[in-house]
């Protein structure tokens, strides 16, 4: 009986740990600057309002100096009273920088926006002699998730905070903001592969080109994929014409005649055009209990581009766009291993957003 109970305990522990690992999320802490002084002053004032409101106990305030790890320790009311007793700008020394905290799933195709807060402290420590040393490094020592800002500040102030936070987020992602959707264009070339050496982007572009020749993949001039190119247009797009070339006319020395040079372009890489779609009040992974994320983003690849460069010019590139579903079907039909490339695309997101496995 004891052996059976011991086995059941191990079984429950195993599944509990497996379930916890499957729901693990990774932190991304990005520093950003607010260039507009009016926006910066507005954010500082609203943050001070939030700190004042937190003293009533209406919502939790988290304490900590270690990025996402700070959301694990709730600040006591006594500590909040001391921290927020004087919220003057002179005391806090706001440097103008802001900290954007997000959490990402393992695939880095879903993330939650957690907080957008000022860097408002000066890190201090003592040296070997006990002398106090002040560091120029700043940090957020009081974390309040954005989830609580709307009920505390009202819709007018929150809408402005919402826009500034998402605008900073799109900048960190090297994208651009369309209302509240984020669009990204990412270029992957062999000569700039900083992710996985086994991801040969030239080979991938060549495979897509083969699919074009067979008709399994359509080609488009625009990433909107509005009108597919004809077979003749596709064939002509692989020829680059240097119309600036002139040569001396053999029968008349000194006379120049037009002699365009044609050369076939070569594949050098791929381009991803993706968007991140927001979902509000989403409960992905049951993670809203801690910490509270007020908006969740999901990744969607809209188009895949194959990039070509003329052999006589490495500075002129052309991109032909394709439907991701057609590309995926063709590569699967060709028994092409897509895994290294998907991992490489994931690595780009980890690097761009500085996603950390540990807080």
Tens of pLDDT, residues 228-244: 999 888 888 887 666 66
Q: Is the pLDDT of residue 1 over 50?
A: no
Q: Is the dihedral of CA 99, 105, 110, 114 positive or negative?
A: negative
Between 303 and 292, the higher pLDDT residue: 303
Q: What pLDDT, on a 0 to 100 scale, did the predictor assign at position 345? A: 93
| pLDDT at 23 (0 to 100) | 52
Place 4 in a pLDDT band, splitting at 50, 70 and 90.
very low
Token representation of residue 224: 């909107």
Position 120 confidence tier, pLDDT thresholds 50, 70, 90: low
User: What is the pLDDT at residue 189?
Assistant: 84
pLDDT score, position 136: 46
- pLDDT above 70 covers a percentage of the chain that reads 69
**Position with higher pLDDT, 241 vs 213:** 213
For residue 25, the model assigns a pLDDT of 79
* Average pLDDT of span 152-163: 91
**Tokens standing for residue 282:** 């989403």
Of the candidates 187, 237, 242, the one whose C-alpha atom is nearest the C-alpha of residue 209 is 237
Span 293-312, average pLDDT: 87
Tokens of 272: 């991803």
Mean pLDDT of 218-225: 94
Instruction: Please choose, from the candidates 102, 98, 120, the residue with its C-alpha nearest in 3D space to the C-alpha of residue 111.
Output: 102
| pLDDT for 257 | 58
Query: For residue 3, what pLDDT band results from cuts at 50, 70 and 90?
Result: very low
CA-based torsion, 229, 235, 239, 244: positive or negative: negative
- CB contact at 8 A, 170 and 181: no
User: In the chain, what percentage of residues exceed pLDDT 90?
Assistant: 33
Residue 55 scores a pLDDT above 90: no
Rounded mean pLDDT, 136-148: 70
Q: pLDDT at position 221, please?
A: 93
Residue 282 scores a pLDDT above 60: no
DSSP 230-271: PHHHHHHHTEEEETT-EEE-TTSTT-EEE--EEEEEEEEEEE
- pLDDT reported for residue 22: 38
* pLDDT of amino acid 139: 52
Average pLDDT, the chain: 77
Once rounded to an integer, what is the mean pLDDT over residues 2-27? Answer: 44
β 132-139/26-33 pair status: unpaired
Is 16's pLDDT higher than 50?
A: no
319-340 pLDDT tens trace:
999 999 999 999 999 999 888 8
> Which pLDDT value is given to residue 140?
59
Cα separations (Å) of 246 from 148, 258, 259, 260, 261?
Answer: 69, 5, 5, 7, 9
Phi, psi (5° rounding) for residue 96? 95, -10
Calculate the CA 47 to chain-centre distance.
25
Name the band, by pLDDT with cuts 50, 70 and 90, for residue 300: very high
Element (H or E) spanning 40, and its range? helix 37-54
The pLDDT of 244-249, averaged and rounded, is 62
Has residue 95 got a pLDDT over 80? no
Residue 109 has pLDDT above 90, yes or no: yes
CA dist., res. 138 & res. 298, Å (int): 31
């Amino acid at each position: 009986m004891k052996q059976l109970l011991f086995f059941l305990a191990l079984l429950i522990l195993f599944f509990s740990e497996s379930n916890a690992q499957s729901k693990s999320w990774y932190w991304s802490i990005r520093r950003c600057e607010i260039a507009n002084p009016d926006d910066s002053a507005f954010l500082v004032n609203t943050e001070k309002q939030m700190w004042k409101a937190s003293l009533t106990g209406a919502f939790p305030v988290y304490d900590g100096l270690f990025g996402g790890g700070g959301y694990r320790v709730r600040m006591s009311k006594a500590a909040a009273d001391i921290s927020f007793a004087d919220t003057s700008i002179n005391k806090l020394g706001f440097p103008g920088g802001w900290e954007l905290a997000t959490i990402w799933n393992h695939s880095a195709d879903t993330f939650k926006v957690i907080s957008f807060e000022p860097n408002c402290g000066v890190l201090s420590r003592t040296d070997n002699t006990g002398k106090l040393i002040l560091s120029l490094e700043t940090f957020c020592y009081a974390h309040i998730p954005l989830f609580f800002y709307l009920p505390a500040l009202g819709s007018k102030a929150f809408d402005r905070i919402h826009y500034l936070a998402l605008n900073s987020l799109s900048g960190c992602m090297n994208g651009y903001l369309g209302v509240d959707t984020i669009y990204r264009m990412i270029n992957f070339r062999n000569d700039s592969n900083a992710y996985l050496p086994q991801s040969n982007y030239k080979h991938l572009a060549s495979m897509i080109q083969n699919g074009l020749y067979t008709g399994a993949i359509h080609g488009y001039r625009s990433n909107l994929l509005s009108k597919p190119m004809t077979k003749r247009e596709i064939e002509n797009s692989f020829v680059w014409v240097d119309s600036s070339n002139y040569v001396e006319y053999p029968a008349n020395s000194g006379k120049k005649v037009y002699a365009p040079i044609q050369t076939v372009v070569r594949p050098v890489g791929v381009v991803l055009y993706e968007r991140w779609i927001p979902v509000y009040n989403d409960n992905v992974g049951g993670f809203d209990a801690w910490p509270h994320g007020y908006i969740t983003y999901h990744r969607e690849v809209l188009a895949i581009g194959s990039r070509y460069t003329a052999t006589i010019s490495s500075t002129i590139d052309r991109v032909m766009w394709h439907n991701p579903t057609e590309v995926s079907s063709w590569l699967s039909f060709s028994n092409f291993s897509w895994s290294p490339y998907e991992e490489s695309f994931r690595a780009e997101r980890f690097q761009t957003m500085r996603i950390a496995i540990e807080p």
